[in-house]
């Protein structure tokens, strides 16, 4: 009988090799998050943006918006699964990696390609998580301005620039919490808010009898710029990679993280799909970047505006935990609640508010972060790290087998009275005996092992990485040029607070 394949993409060994289930310890913890709650954490990370901010860029792509979303979703899920498997595989290669659970993505990068890669991944992670918090502040503060302006008929016109400062102050105590497992009530409340916002938006669109009928989507011809903008925003809003491993290490059984990721994508994707279809049928390409701006005043709209603000604040608390933990480790701040934690996290929130006051539009920040920073983390590093770790595991197992067989051969040689250091005939006999025993005890007949790599796995990974590189370069150029162009006619809060508030209200439909 041939020796089975051991987590390798080399040779002709094809049987699935697993240890006994009751002895399997990699990925298991005592306590921690269930798959259901991990799914809720992912839905919370996606938040309300897919419902209130994503319909516009997708609708701008016309009938081609649906295949664009499906394609990006598929790639993100594929690389998310590879990233989760990479963490499990890294534990098998180096069990001590469990000591680095506060920054697991960077630990996987270091194990695969060394310290420099770890530093690069750490920078991209921190920049992505921090950058993702800026549009949260902008959108939440604009929702508050919209709420008071519409509910009072224009009587209260407090600028979103002021509301951004207020939200920053109110959000600081929430940011002082620990990791996702310390935020279960917040995550559950956040998911309830997301569902309420989605259903309320549906009712507002269906009951809108004021807005004139929109032209059919079949008549709209999107440009290349529309696709690039949509890609950047979709990548931004559905990027779970910076936070995925942080959730995985907190799970009861981290081997099931792919189910949590799939559940999060399906749930949020369904809410987004219904909202987009309704908005496209009612408003067409006239839908605003902030969906709430184009909806006539009503009680459900007022409720939605407040809930959007609350959900974005809760989502920021969960989403920024990885960044907070890394900076606290660099500064050697105790992991228990302390004054230093409060000061550091409050300073980061203050910096995010300052940048939010400095940029003109939230969708520009989404496009920049989504196109520039998330590309490598989503489409390049996960397949690259997974292939590298599979190769390392293969070599490690082969090395261990050689040592085991060599030791058995030496022992048998001495038993047979052979004075030579290594009796190769005994080695071959021992190899055959060991192989048969190994197969009988540790080989599970059935599916191929989850870490087995074939030629089409390598090809698919290479294609995904090349697509990621191309999309990142093109979308980054498009986003930066769009930002420079927009900055000339959309003033940020720091340059003119009154003009920024007026510019936001000018695109809002009359009451």
Q: What is the pLDDT of residues 117-126, one digit of tens each?
A: 999 998 888 8
* Nearest partner of 182 among 250, 254, 256, judged by Cα: 250
pLDDT score, position 445: 37
pLDDT score of 332 more than 60: yes
- The model's confidence at residue 296, banded by pLDDT at 50, 70 and 90, is confident
Count helices and strands (H / E) in the chain: 20, 0
- H-type helices in 417-508, by residue range? 424-442, 455-487, 497-506
Give pLDDT tens digits for 222-276.
888 888 888 888 887 888 887 888 888 888 888 888 899 999 999 999 999 999 9
The two structure tokens encoding residue 441: 């005890």
- The model's confidence at residue 216, banded by pLDDT at 50, 70 and 90, is low
Express as a percent the part of the chain with pLDDT over 70.
70
pLDDT score of 312 more than 70: yes
Q: Does domain 36-387 have CATH number 1.10.10.10?
A: no
Question: 285 or 9: which carries more pLDDT confidence?
Answer: 285
Give pLDDT tens digits for 78-136.
999 899 889 988 888 888 887 777 678 889 999 999 889 999 998 888 888 887 778 88
pLDDT score of 503 more than 80: no
How far is CA 5 from its chain centroid?
32
Least confident piece of the model among 14-18, 157-161, 191-195: 14-18
| Cβ–Cβ under 8 Å, residues 64 and 227 | yes
Q: How far is Cα 81 from Cα 383, in angstroms, rounded to an integer?
A: 10
Sign of CA dihedral 142, 148, 150, 154: negative
- The model's confidence at residue 374, banded by pLDDT at 50, 70 and 90, is confident
Q: How far is Cα 169 from Cα 36, in angstroms, rounded to an integer?
A: 32
Residues 6+ positions from 50 with CB-CB distance below 8 Å: 237, 238, 268, 269, 271, 272, 275
| Cβ–Cβ under 8 Å, residues 301 and 204 | yes
Sign of CA dihedral 336, 339, 340, 341: positive
Q: How far is Cα 335 from Cα 178, in angstroms, rounded to an integer?
A: 8
The two structure tokens encoding residue 38: 């991990």
- H-type helices in 320-415, by residue range? 321-330, 339-358, 362-368, 374-375, 381-415
* Nearest partner of 230 among 471, 43, 490, judged by Cα: 471
- Mean pLDDT, to the nearest integer, of 38-64? 87
Q: How many CB atoms lie within 10 A of CB 401?
A: 16
Give pLDDT tens digits for 10-28.
333 333 333 333 333 455 5
Question: 510 or 456: which carries more pLDDT confidence?
Answer: 456
Q: CB pairs under 8 A, 24+ apart, for 457-463?
A: 457/9, 457/387, 458/9, 458/387, 460/78, 460/383, 461/82, 461/383, 461/384, 461/386, 461/387, 462/383
pLDDT score of 362 more than 70: no
Least confident piece of the model among 64-73, 119-128, 273-282, 285-294: 285-294
What phi and psi values does residue 443 have, to the nearest 5 degrees? Answer: -100, 125
pLDDT score, position 133: 79
Q: How far is Cα 75 from Cα 312, in angstroms, rounded to an integer?
A: 26
**For the chain, which residues make up each domain, given as ranges?**
36-387
């Amino acid at each position: 009988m041939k020796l089975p394949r051991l987590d390798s993409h080399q040779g002709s060994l094809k049987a699935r090799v697993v240890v006994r289930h009751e002895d399997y310890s990699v990925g298991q913890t005592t306590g921690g998050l269930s798959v259901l709650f991990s799914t809720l954490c992912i839905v919370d990370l996606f938040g309300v943006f897919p419902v209130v901010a994503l319909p516009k860029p997708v609708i701008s792509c016309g009938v081609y918006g649906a295949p664009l979303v499906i394609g990006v979703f598929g790639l993100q899920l594929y690389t998310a699964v590879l990233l989760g498997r990479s963490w499990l595989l890294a534990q098998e290669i180096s069990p001590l990696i469990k000591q680095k659970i506060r920054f697991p993505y960077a630990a996987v990068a270091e194990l695969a390609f060394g310290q420099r890669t770890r530093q690069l991944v750490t920078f991209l992670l921190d920049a992505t998580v921090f950058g993702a918090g800026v549009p949260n502040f902008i959108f939440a503060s604009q929702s508050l301005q919209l709420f008071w302006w519409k509910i009072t008929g224009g009587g209260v016109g407090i600028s979103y620039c002021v509301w951004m400062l207020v939200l920053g102050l109110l959000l600081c105590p929430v940011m002082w919490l620990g990791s996702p497992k310390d935020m279960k009530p917040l995550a559950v409340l956040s998911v309830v808010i997301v569902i309420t916002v989605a259903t309320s938006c549906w009712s507002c669109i269906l009951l809108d009898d004021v807005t004139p009928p929109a032209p059919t989507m079949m008549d709209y011809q999107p440009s290349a710029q529309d696709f690039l903008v949509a890609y950047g925003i979709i990548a931004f809003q559905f990027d779970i990679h910076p936070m995925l491993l942080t959730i995985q290490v907190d799970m009861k059984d981290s081997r099931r993280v792919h189910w949590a990721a799939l559940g999060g994508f399906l749930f949020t994707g369904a809410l987004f799909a219904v909202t987009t279809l309704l908005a496209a049928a009612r408003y067409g390409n006239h839908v605003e970047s902030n969906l709430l701006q184009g909806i006539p005043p009503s009680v459900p709209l007022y409720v939605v505006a407040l809930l959007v603000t609350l959900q974005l604040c809760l989502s920021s608390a969960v989403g920024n935990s990885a960044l907070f933990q890394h900076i606290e480790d660099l500064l050697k701040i105790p992991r228990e609640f302390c004054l230093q934690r409060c000061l550091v996290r409050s300073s980061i929130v203050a910096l995010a508010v300052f940048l939010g006051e400095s940029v003109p539009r939230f969708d520009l920040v989404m496009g920049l972060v989504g196109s520039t920073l998330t590309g490598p983390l989503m489409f390049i590093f996960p397949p690259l790290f997974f292939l590298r770790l599979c190769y390392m595991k293969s070599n490690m197992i082969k090395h261990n087998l050689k040592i085991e067989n060599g030791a058995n051969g030496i022992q048998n040689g001495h038993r047979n009275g052979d004075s030579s250091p290594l009796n190769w005939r005994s080695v071959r006999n021992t190899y055959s005996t060991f192989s048969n025993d190994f197969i009988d005890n540790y080989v599970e007949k059935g599916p191929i092992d989850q870490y087995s790599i074939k030629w089409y796995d390598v090809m698919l990974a290479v294609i995904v990485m090349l697509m990621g590189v191309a999309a990142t370069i093109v979308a980054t150029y498009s986003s930066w040029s769009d930002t420079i162009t927009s900055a000339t006619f959309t003033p940020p809060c720091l340059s003119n607070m009154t003009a920024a508030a007026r510019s936001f209200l000018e695109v809002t439909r009359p009451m």
